[in-house]
Amino acid sequence: MKLKGDFILHETDGKTIMLNVDGKAYNGLIQLNGTAADMVRLLQKGTTKEDLIRDMLYLYDVSEEQLTIDADKLLSALKTIDVIDEDD
């Protein structure tokens, strides 16, 4: 599972924004909280949902259940705008 296209993450005014470099995969602006930004960094390299949650457990002192909810929410949002390649 990986992001389609080349995205950059940029911190501005206390938030993280996600932008597609050439605008071909997605032309809009995505605003992420801290947890989502770290998940996106893992998705940029390519991962599975299970590995994503396992890696996030190292970074965050929260329950696996909560991280699963957060991951599902993020993945659903990214799938809605068709920027996730699930076969990769």
Beta carbon of residue 32, minimum distance to other proteins (angstroms, whole number):
14
Strands (E), the chain: 2-3, 7-12, 15-20, 30-32, 84-85
CA pair distance 28, 80, nearest whole angstrom: 13
Rule CB under 8 A: say whether 22 interacts with other proteins.
Answer: yes
Q: Which residue has the tokens 């893992």?
A: 42
CB nearer to other proteins: give 10 or 73: 10
Residue 83 class from Cβ within 10 Å (0-12 exposed, 13-18 middle, 19+ buried)? buried
CB nearer to other proteins: give 27 or 66: 27
Rule CB under 8 A: say whether 12 interacts with other proteins.
Answer: yes
**Options 4-12, 37-45, 48-56, 64-72: segment touching other proteins (CB under 8 A):** 4-12
Question: How many residues touch other proteins (CB under 8 A)?
Answer: 13
